[in-house]
Amino acid sequence: MKNFFNKLLPGNLYIWLAYFGLLIISIICLFSASSTLVAKQGSAAAPIMRHITFLMLGFISIIVLQKFSTQFIRYVMGYGLLIVSWILLVLAMFIGEVKGGATRSLWGIQPSELARLALIISTASFMAKCQDAEFLKAKFHWFVVMFVVTLALVVPSNLSTTILLAFTIFVMLFIGRIPWRYIFKLLLISGGLFVGYISVSLVVVNIYPVSKEAPSWTRVFRRVETWQARVVNFSSAINSKTDKNVKNPYEISDEEGINNRQSTYALIAIARGGLTGVGIGDSNQKNFLPEAYSDFIFAIICEESGLVGLCFIFGFYIFLFYKVVTAIYKSKNLFHIYMSAGCMVIMITQILVHCLVCLNLFPLTGQPLPLISNGGSSIVINSIYIGIFIYTSRQWKFISNTAGDKNNIASDGVDKNDAKFDINNPAVPLEEQNNAADNIGVEIVSEMDIDDAYSTEKKDSTDNSVTIEIE
């Protein structure tokens, strides 16, 4: 039975349990919060079936990911997907679907989500090789280009995703102990270009107001108007707490360009929830919040399940990230470590931003709650993040046998002599792993569960080989 489940759900079982728990919560929450979608589509089953379909696609993505080698993930899902996302982002600027004033979708796909995943993997691949100071010095300018181009293409459609992605990359660089001079250089370059983009956008929108026939290329800069409005709305809500001349934040108003409708309904929903909530399906504010099933699903969770239900739901997130940290700590492959750390950071940041927006402590963004909010591309991409966590938890640990072999170990932990296949690929059967290990003087005694097993190194003075006993 254990072998059956290991084959069906490879990797860390606890990560799988947390993942399935979030999926069940997602189905329940969406079914309860999708009343507006039901009204639009005229079918009670259509929204939930669409949501379940994407959840299934996410699950399939996790299973398929486990079949890939480390090199495939590094080069195809990293650099290859990054180039593809660049092309899609450029196309989306001109022929993409406009939603909420932003051009975010192209043929039902959000290129920004693909770019986010690809940049994290590419950054992890770059950092794994940066333990060599000469490599970092010689190749850092290529990383700057990769970073700047990606953010420049994402920012016209989604400022919040750009900020979250930039923050994640800088955290990854910090974790990877990249020298501060390189981090500051990247910060100055990207920050300067962003300020320049904002300045140009303000000039363009003043020259070509919405009321006039504006050239199509101005779409690239038009999003700055929405950013301005959201900052004004957010600041007015903050000032209202101390300035009596400003309207009460709980009073809905559209005066003087101020529209606090979404944040106000979200606050009311959270306040109504109290300790135990009003009951699943009994939310009132879901009928007023325009994105109750997506951008404001946190508020609906608070209203229906209260503080108790909220703690229960977020307990799955905490448990998930705890097991991910455990897997990262036990991994010996730098690429896997940095990749999993980047995925975890962006998921945590996305959760925090989503909650702060609902609490009116952060300007409005379009960031969904990972694995719970309605969405196609976001669900699949966040599922792939889970797949990366599971992939990392399945990795084998190898020890080289001689001083000469240490020179054959690349900075990313992959043996250079292993040209036929990657021994770090968890999809490779034990027999094949033993054959590969023989080439580098390592013997694998038995299979192991990374959470339960530990290895003991024993050196043979006769042939200088190394045996790893898995107990």
What is the Cα–Cα distance from 419 to 402, expressed in whole angstroms? 19
- For residue range 217-245, list pLDDT tens digits in order: 666 666 666 666 666 666 655 555 554 44
Q: Which of 242, 82, 69 is nearest to 153 (CA)?
A: 82
- For residue range 113-168, list pLDDT tens digits in order: 899 999 999 999 999 888 778 888 888 899 999 999 999 888 887 788 888 999 99
- Mean residue pLDDT across the chain: 75
- Percent of the chain exceeding pLDDT 90 equals 28
Q: Which of 4-18, 259-273, 439-453 bottoms out in mean pLDDT, i.e. has the lowest?
A: 439-453
* Confidence grade of residue 197 (pLDDT, cut at 50, 70, 90): confident
Mean pLDDT of 268-288: 84
Is 378 within 8 Å of 110 (Cβ atoms)? yes
Is 197 within 8 Å of 152 (Cβ atoms)? yes
CA-CA-CA-CA dihedral for 42, 48, 51, 56, to nearest 10? -130
Per-residue confidence (pLDDT) for residue 222, from 0 to 100: 66
DSSP output for 402-441? SHHHHTTB-TTS-BTT--SS-TT-TTS-HHHHHHHHHTTT
- For residue range 44-53, list pLDDT tens digits in order: 677 788 889 9
Tell me, what DSSP letter sits at residue 61? H
What is the Cα–Cα distance from 77 to 295, expressed in whole angstroms? 28
Determine the 3-state secondary structure of 443 from DSSP. strand
DSSP output for 184-227? HHHHHHHHHHHHHHHHHHHHHHHHS-TTS---GGGGGTTTHHHH
* Confidence grade of residue 5 (pLDDT, cut at 50, 70, 90): low
Which pair of tokens denotes residue 233? 């709305």
Instruction: Check pLDDT > 50 for residue 398.
Output: no
In 10-139 the beta strands, taken as DSSP E runs, fall at 97-99, 102-105
CA dist list (Å): 309 to 159, 210, 300: 31, 45, 11
Per-residue confidence (pLDDT) for residue 194, from 0 to 100: 86
**What pTM, to 2 d.p., does this model score?**
0.76
| Selected residue with higher pLDDT from 332 and 244 | 332
Mean pLDDT of 7-31: 87
Mean pLDDT of 437-458: 37
What is the Cα–Cα distance from 183 to 193, expressed in whole angstroms? 16
| Selected residue with higher pLDDT from 403 and 18 | 18
What is the Cα–Cα distance from 166 to 159, expressed in whole angstroms? 11
| Selected residue with higher pLDDT from 324 and 450 | 324
Per-residue confidence (pLDDT) for residue 231, from 0 to 100: 66
Q: Phi, psi at residue 264, to the nearest 5°?
A: -65, -50
